[in-house]
Chain A
């Protein structure tokens, strides 16, 4: 906390070499070094994303047009779900910093309360991301590429194990240029559907309905890599939480372990701030 690095250090707690670089403990400095390298990894991913984005202007999907759904609600809510996820992560970051602050007062109960809430927030974020992924993978009814190489959008979803003829009100919409939309329904639509070479719906590792294949790849890798960081952060928080419950850090006399896991947790929030801007907003 404030001013903690400005005081002289007693010789008995110095590192093996007789010094304590930067006046921080070994563990804390190594956590910072790890975060520096991890941040460079995420930088690489986001710059690669920017590279693909700038190289394919026009064809690249826009965040608010892809992510506009909310669980349990139908309708158009551009970006709101992602904003909610961002908010959840910011709040869990706040509870973490409050846990660190309670640790500095050697307040066991405060640490347990705030660290517990941080873990709950982490699970909420992971659940949100699971929903986001499943929604992205499942997608909309999608489109087909017909034998004439035309692109037709489906008006109704064809459930698994059924054919177009089984779906009531099945129709196709073809886009010719900007303003001309031609709708097909009934038998005509089914006939065109049956000549399809490919039906793209949702997203997988080779293709997606939103844009170029790399778009799905970047989505899965960047949010997946971040989600894995959140997952491991929750695990580390739980391990430290158990330590707090068992009184390990009280006996040790300091709660620096909470501070170190806190550094990692804030870093995860920090990465999401950048992913939110560069993947969803811009």
Chain B
């Protein structure tokens, strides 16, 4: 079998080198994402400490946690793992399974467990 780690020219993803100037721009982006992730985490912790579960505000806080988590995940996958720089086809191969299966799994899991909760509430444990 042909080895894929041999470098023959400059055109393959294996040999994606860049010069110092280009590196500077990439590092700038990395530092931006670092600050963003830190800020989002700090906001999450502060909301978690100051807004108690069960209060009127809690449902909004809960959904904002989910949105903030997805934003963080998008930056980690897109920038740190460079998925944004891969081909569109590879991006879809990696992301579409989650859109199909995970959303369904979450939907069915939460629906079922809410039904079980109702039964326990009505008939005791």
Q: A residues bordering B, Cβ < 8 Å?
A: 1-10, 12-16, 20, 22-29, 32, 36, 39-40, 43-44, 47-48, 50-57, 62-64, 78-80, 83, 86-87, 90-91, 93-94, 96-98, 101-102, 104-106, 252-254, 256, 262-263, 266-267, 269-270, 273-274, 276-277, 280-282
Q: A1-B18, A16-B1, A47-B109 are in contact. Are A78 and B72 (CB under 8 A)?
A: no
In the complex, the answer to whether B16 meets A47 with C-beta atoms within 8 Å is: no
Which B residue sits closest to A57, measured CB to CB?
Answer: B117
In the complex, the answer to whether A105 meets B18 with C-beta atoms within 8 Å is: yes
What is the distance, in angstroms, from A23's C-beta to the closest C-beta of chain B? 6
What is the distance, in angstroms, from A210's C-beta to the closest C-beta of chain B? 15
Contacts A54-B110, A86-B41, A101-B26 known; list 19 others, CB within 8 Å. A1-B16, A2-B26, A2-B85, A4-B13, A5-B13, A25-B5, A25-B14, A36-B97, A40-B97, A51-B109, A55-B114, A55-B117, A94-B34, A98-B27, A105-B23, A253-B15, A256-B14, A274-B69, A282-B66
A51–B110 Cα distance when bound, in Å, is 6
A22–B114 Cα distance when bound, in Å, is 42
A60–B97 Cα distance when bound, in Å, is 31
Q: From the candidates A10, A83, A101, A282, name the one contacting B11 in the complex (CB within 8 A).
A: A10
In the complex, the answer to whether B49 meets A64 with C-beta atoms within 8 Å is: yes
In the complex, the answer to whether A50 meets B15 with C-beta atoms within 8 Å is: no
In the complex, the answer to whether B94 meets A32 with C-beta atoms within 8 Å is: yes
Which A residue sits closest to B6, measured CB to CB?
Answer: A13
Which 5 A-B residue pairings sit nearest by Cβ, starting from the closest?
A4-B16, A22-B90, A54-B113, A55-B113, A277-B69
Q: A13-B8, A27-B5, A282-B62 are in contact. Are A266 and B80 (CB under 8 A)?
A: yes
Which A residue sits closest to B83, measured CB to CB?
Answer: A32
A80–B5 Cα distance when bound, in Å, is 44
In the complex, the answer to whether B2 meets A15 with C-beta atoms within 8 Å is: yes
In the complex, the answer to whether B12 meets A13 with C-beta atoms within 8 Å is: yes
A55–B120 Cα distance when bound, in Å, is 8
A45–B14 Cα distance when bound, in Å, is 34
Chain B hits for A13, CB < 8 A:
4, 6-9, 12, 14
Chain A hits for B77, CB < 8 A:
266, 270
Query: When each residue 24-41 of chain B gets 1 if its CB lies under 8 Å from chain A and 0 otherwise, what string results?
Result: 001100100110011001
A104–B80 Cα distance when bound, in Å, is 14
A246–B81 Cα distance when bound, in Å, is 26
In the complex, the answer to whether B85 meets A5 with C-beta atoms within 8 Å is: yes
Q: A24-B13, A274-B69 are in contact. Are A50 and B48 (CB under 8 A)?
A: no
Chain A hits for B17, CB < 8 A:
104-106, 254
Q: A252-B7, A273-B69 are in contact. Are A44 and B105 (CB under 8 A)?
A: yes
What is the distance, in angstroms, from A215's C-beta to the closest C-beta of chain B? 15
Chain B hits for A47, CB < 8 A:
102, 105-106, 109
In the complex, the answer to whether B82 meets A1 with C-beta atoms within 8 Å is: yes
A7–B116 Cα distance when bound, in Å, is 54
Chain A hits for B113, CB < 8 A:
50-55
A20–B22 Cα distance when bound, in Å, is 26
Query: When each residue 83-116 of chain B gets 1 if its CB lies under 8 Å from chain A and 0 otherwise, what string results?
Result: 0011101100110011001100110011011101
Query: 28 A–B contact pairs at CB < 8 A?
Result: A1-B18, A1-B85, A5-B85, A7-B11, A13-B4, A22-B93, A24-B90, A25-B5, A25-B13, A32-B90, A44-B105, A47-B105, A48-B109, A52-B113, A54-B113, A55-B116, A56-B117, A83-B45, A94-B80, A105-B23, A106-B17, A254-B5, A254-B17, A256-B13, A269-B76, A270-B73, A274-B69, A276-B41
